[in-house]
Amino acid sequence: MTSAIERPAVAEEDAPARPLRKDAARNRELLIAAAREVFARRGIEASLDDVARRAGLGVGTAYRHFANKYELLTALMTQTIDEIVAQAEYAATMDDPWEGLVTFLEAALTVQAKDRGLREVLMGVHDPEKLEQVHDRIAAPLDEIVRRAKRARLVRRDVEPSDVGVIIGMLCTVADIGGDEHPELWRRYLPLCLEGLKPGAPKPAVKALDEAQIRRAMATHKHGFPERRPSPSG
Amino acid sequence: MTSAIERPAVAEEDAPARPLRKDAARNRELLIAAAREVFARRGIEASLDDVARRAGLGVGTAYRHFANKYELLTALMTQTIDEIVAQAEYAATMDDPWEGLVTFLEAALTVQAKDRGLREVLMGVHDPEKLEQVHDRIAAPLDEIVRRAKRARLVRRDVEPSDVGVIIGMLCTVADIGGDEHPELWRRYLPLCLEGLKPGAPKPAVKALDEAQIRRAMATHKHGFPERRPSPSG
Amino acid sequence: MTSAIERPAVAEEDAPARPLRKDAARNRELLIAAAREVFARRGIEASLDDVARRAGLGVGTAYRHFANKYELLTALMTQTIDEIVAQAEYAATMDDPWEGLVTFLEAALTVQAKDRGLREVLMGVHDPEKLEQVHDRIAAPLDEIVRRAKRARLVRRDVEPSDVGVIIGMLCTVADIGGDEHPELWRRYLPLCLEGLKPGAPKPAVKALDEAQIRRAMATHKHGFPERRPSPSG
Amino acid sequence: MTSAIERPAVAEEDAPARPLRKDAARNRELLIAAAREVFARRGIEASLDDVARRAGLGVGTAYRHFANKYELLTALMTQTIDEIVAQAEYAATMDDPWEGLVTFLEAALTVQAKDRGLREVLMGVHDPEKLEQVHDRIAAPLDEIVRRAKRARLVRRDVEPSDVGVIIGMLCTVADIGGDEHPELWRRYLPLCLEGLKPGAPKPAVKALDEAQIRRAMATHKHGFPERRPSPSG
DNA sequence: TATGAATGAGAGTTCATTCAT
DNA sequence: AATGAATGAACTCTCATTCAT
């Protein structure tokens, strides 16, 4: 459940993942924690200076650990994905497949509902490679969760793993709307969404995305991240 | 359905809204169209320079028509809200209440699904006054739509107008995910959401927001738009 | 006589005014020197870009040291005010009260005559708070200078400290007129003004401003500096 | 005493001063009056758009009458100079030379004291040619005023016409300081200055500027007027 | 001729990123 | 390794000036 992130940004390419010196590792965690707080409150617009200051470190240190702001954001996401993957793996083993599905959704939302910056990053991912990794890790347990629910006739045949991802996105939006004042609002719409997956519900005319499609869809640059600009010369 | 945008930003005092010169009116439309395209593709982060360039005009012209970037965004929103309100009013009069509800949702989504910037504005606008106006105009027909559906026992008693607003938001997110490649993806999740409103579906433990709550929630500054600053000209 | 400028603009919170790094301190001085030159020559209309260029630095650096153009101007003014206050304090202790008065006027003018931007700021600053501070510091020695001259019957009874301030302003104008070509022109009009203060000279029909009045008068926004605007970063 | 300005800006070079059509002449006066009001209140920073709006005309019309903002400002000055020249001519004929001198100074100040923009322009003149014309017209009566006062031993031998000009400037500054709240403050400092001209007063060590010098000094570009910028290409 | 829409250079300011200390 | 000063491109907005209507 804790972060699996171990490589600093400076470790180019495929260095053998040498563990960080202890204080460096600590700074990395400080930065991620600070980023989470700052971005959670003010969104991804917040400046890295602010993040660094919150972490009690200099900006330079932030750049030693993360090649750029986007990398830091990605690290946040990765860390969270780690948690969600863990939850998915656990949920995939629960006795009751329905409970597994619900547990997974609740876990994912509980993590994301509190963090605006995180939601922004998760929906606006830029690095197709990174996203591939995420998908590679979540695909199996999510598949399993959905497959078991289908086998037990708890959800329709046309339901796909991508549906679960989309539903998480939808409920993130509800969390956005609810904001700090109604942090549990998404819980109203979770059963609502689940209801529509049940065998009794009509099968929608539009098909779900398959795995390749959802990968591509999410990898498409959608959210206001600037193209990597040419580095300032000075 | 017609545009509510009629006065250029320069009308400062109490000018009687004299109609624009033909070329100015055309440029205004060019700007709005360009803004829609640019913001639709790149989000509200896009610069007014880019909008003007896309319109084939100078920045100054943009500022002649809209006092600032935020006003332009608002104009876009207003125009669309007009359309949606019109749709709501129409839907509220349809013979079949269910068809009315579905028609309204489809209409709203059809408009918003294509426009990321618009969705950002609609979810993130922080001009409470403007948003009040929007709510003031949409409240009555939306109320009517929901009331009729409830009276006909097509949706549960605990369903509120705010639920419809939230569902629109959720489906906007789906549109975001679908992007240009799967522009109809949201149609898969519309029936799914509707299913959850039906009397057969379990009543969620969390209550819907009432009107005052949803107004407040949406008015809360979420998406980092700077406060309107006083002009520095003195 | 020493500079009162010690904290960089970045010290936002309650940092204990840690001394600047050596290079930063040097750049700060470069900036102030450049600002003095540029504003002295071209007035406060000159752009910060020009100031930075003259200092051989980037604009960003100017903004690291001064929150905005206005702050830089204030820093300049503060530095000079320090000098003038010191001169006033010294002049107030001179054996010969008349020599004290003249010495003070000459000192103040010598400082200001060379610097158009400074004169503009001193006459037009509209930060009432800052100006209050200036007055607070200069009031006592100036009072003393005038009081001693009056007690020694060297100037009329109706002369007020504000007269000295006004005379400085008048001579600044002469310096303006003289420009670089006649930098000492103001010295012609200094005895002229002093003559009018002597007991033999007729008492003017119009009374001098008292301290409260001159404070108000000088605090009134006269030279079009924009209000400090709230930062748009939110 | 009324304006002697008769040529529109469009009359290039030395057209034979054809009188303007009546409405054009009226617009010209409207513009100058509006400019006076606007610049008087807000200084020369005010925009031409504001001036034109105040005149009830379009900016374009302003540019038909004045080649640029600076020309308009100059027209203001010229108009005032006309008044002052007329006053000078009148004062030069008064029986009592001292009364003539005082009358002239009071008249000049009365005109200028009320108008901040005017003072800014008068001190910041740009067009050496225009200034030459002004000097050419004021020189004779001013000379006469000073000569008569000297002949009657009312002022020292070293007093020059330029001294009177400088004193006007100094008192303008007092008017600046007095602002709207103490519009008569300059009257306190007029006798003060005059006292210093009297034969009893000591002769200053620094000599007055002669006519050529003061012409040059005032023609020197001192105040924040931008170099004529290259016209925008679009 | 009069109008006011259009233009774009330029101003103040921010912030991701680099680099000297 | 850590720091934070420096950089400059980019952004929003203004206004003198031009030009189509």
Asked if the C-beta of D181 comes within 8 angstroms of chain B's C-beta atoms, the answer is no
Question: Which chain C positions have a beta carbon within 8 Å of D192's beta carbon?
Answer: 193, 195-197, 201, 204
Q: Does D182 touch chain C (CB under 8 A)?
A: yes
CA–CA separation, C8 vs C2, rounded Å? 17
Chain C, window 34-53: residues with a beta carbon less than 8 angstroms from a chain B beta carbon: none
Question: Which partners does chain D have (≥3 C-beta pairs < 8 Å)?
Answer: B, C
Q: D-chain residues within 8 Å CB-CB of B234?
A: 42, 45
Residue corresponding to tokens 């702001």: A69
C-alpha span between B80 and B137 (Å, rounded): 13
* Closest residue in chain C to residue B228, using alpha carbons only: C232
pLDDT band at residue A23 under the 50/70/90 scheme: confident
- Radius of gyration of chain C from its Cα atoms, rounded to whole angstroms: 19
Nearest CA in chain B to A204: B188
Integer angstrom CA distances of residue A134 from A65, A75, A85, A110, C222 = 21, 12, 9, 19, 62
Q: What is the DSSP string of B126-142?
A: --HHHHHHHHHHHHHHH
Q: Mean pLDDT across the stretch B128-152?
A: 89
Residues across chain C = 234
Chains linked to A by 3 or more Cβ pairs within 8 Å: B
**C197 chain-D contacts, CB cut-off 8 A:** 192
C23 CA to E20 C1' in angstroms comes to 9
Q: What is the pLDDT of residue A177?
A: 87
Q: What would the two tokens of residue A91 be?
A: 């949920």
pLDDT band (50, 70, 90) for residue B168: very high
pLDDT of residue B19: 61
Tell me which chain C residues have a C-beta less than 8 angstroms from the C-beta of B233: 226
Three-state secondary structure readout of C168-225: HHHHHHHHHHHCCCCCCCHHHHHHHHHHCCCCCCCCCCCCCCCHHHHHHHHHCCCCCC
Average pLDDT, chain D: 83
Cα first-last separation, chain C: 39
Nearest chain D alpha carbon to B13: D53
Neighbouring subunits of C (3+ Cβ pairs under 8 A): B, D
Q: How far is the CA of C23 from the C1' of E10 (A)?
A: 30
In chain A, the percentage of residues whose pLDDT exceeds 70 is 82
* Of C221, C226, C233, Cβ closest to residue B232: C226
Q: Does D234 touch chain B if contact means CB atoms closer than 8 Å?
A: yes
d(CA A159, CA A137): 20
Three-state secondary structure of chain A: CCCCCCCCCCCCCCCCCCCCCHHHHHHHHHHHHHHHHHHHHHCCCCCHHHHHHHHCCCHHHHHHHCCCHHHHHHHHHHHHHHHHHHHHHHHCCCCCHHHHHHHHHHHHHHHHHCCHHHHHHHHCCCCHHHHHHHHHHHHHHHHHHHHHHHHCCCCCCCCCHHHHHHHHHHHHHHHHHHCCCCCCCHHHHHHHHHHCCCCCCCCCCCCCCCHHHHHHHHHCCCCCCCCCCCCCCC
SS3 letters for chain D?
Answer: CCCCCCCCCCCCCCCCCCCCCHHHHHHHHHHHHHHHHHHHHHCCCCCHHHHHHHHCCCHHHHHHHCCCHHHHHHHHHHHHHHHHHHHHHHHCCCCCHHHHHHHHHHHHHHHHHCCHHHHHHHHCCCCHHHHHHHHHHHHHHHHHHHHHHHHCCCCCCCCCHHHHHHHHHHHHHHHHHHCCCCCCCHHHHHHHHHHCCCCCCCCCCCCCCCHHHHHHHHHCCCCCCCCCCCCCCC
Cα C172 from Cα C166, distance rounded (Å): 10
* Banded pLDDT at A126 (limits 50, 70, 90): low
C69 touches strand E (CB under 7 A): yes
Measured CA B214 to C1' F15 distance, in angstroms: 42
CA distance A197 to chain B (A): 7
Ranges A70-79, B119-128, C68-77, C220-229: which has the least confidence: C220-229
Whole-model pTM: value is: 0.80
pLDDT band at residue D14 using 50, 70 and 90 as cut-offs: very low
Mean pLDDT by 10 residues, chain C (234 residues): 42 49 88 92 90 96 94 87 93 97 95 80 66 85 97 97 95 88 94 95 96 85 46 34
Q: Which of C170, C185, C217 lies nearest to residue D206, judging by beta carbons?
A: C185
Three-class DSSP category at B152: coil
C-alpha–C-alpha distance, residues D117 and D129, integer Å:
21
**Pair B105, B190: CB distance under 8 Å:** yes
- Residue B145, token pair as written in the block: 């739509």
Considering only CA atoms, which residue is closest to the C1' of nucleotide E5? B24
Give the per-residue pLDDT at D43: 80
Residues 189-208 of B with CB under 8 A from A: 189-198, 200-202, 204-208
Element spanning C31, H or E: helix C22-42
Q: For chains B and D, count residue pairs whose Cβ atoms are closer than 8 Å.
A: 4
The answer to whether the Cα torsion of B138, B142, B143, B144 is positive or negative is positive
- Rounded Cα distance, B233 and C224, in Å: 8
Q: Do the two chains A and D touch, given a threshold of 8 Å on CB pairs and at least 3 pairs?
A: no
- Looking across all nucleic acid strands, the nucleotide with the smallest C1' to CA distance from residue C62 is F6
CB D128 within 8 A of CB D144: no
The one-letter amino acid code at A71 reads E
Q: Residue D55: what residue type?
A: A
pLDDT of residue D44: 84
Partner-chain contact B179 A43, CB within 8 Å? no
In this prediction, residues B124-140 reach a mean pLDDT of 76
Chain D residue with minimal CA distance to C187? D206
Pick from A8-12, A201-205, D196-200: least confident: A8-12
Q: Tell me which nucleotides of strand E come within 7 A of a protein CB.
A: 1-21
What is the spatial distance between Cα A73 and Cα A61, in angstroms, rounded to a whole number? 15
Q: What is the DSSP letter of B198?
A: S
Instruction: Please give the interface size between A and B, counted as residue pairs whose CB atoms are below 8 Å apart.
Output: 147
Residue C197's CB is within 10 A of a number of other CB atoms, namely 23
SS3 B67: coil
Percentage of residues in chain B having pLDDT higher than 70:
82
Q: Using a CB–CB cutoff of 8 Å, tell me whether D170 touches chain C.
A: yes
Q: What is the pLDDT of residues D134-181, one digit of tens each?
A: 888 899 999 999 999 999 999 999 999 999 999 999 999 899 889 889
Name the residue among A106, A114, A120, A115 with its Cα closest to residue A190. A106
Tell me if D192 sits within 8 A of D109, measured CB to CB: no
Tokens 């780690």 found at: A82
Least-confidence region, from A34-38, A191-195, D126-130, D202-206: D126-130
Rounded Cα distance between A72 and A66, Å, is: 6
Q: How many CB atoms lie within 10 A of CB A26?
A: 11
Q: Record the tokens describing residue C11, joined without a space.
A: 């010290």
Residues 6+ apart with CB under 8 A from D101: D91, D145, D146, D149, D154, D155, D164, D194
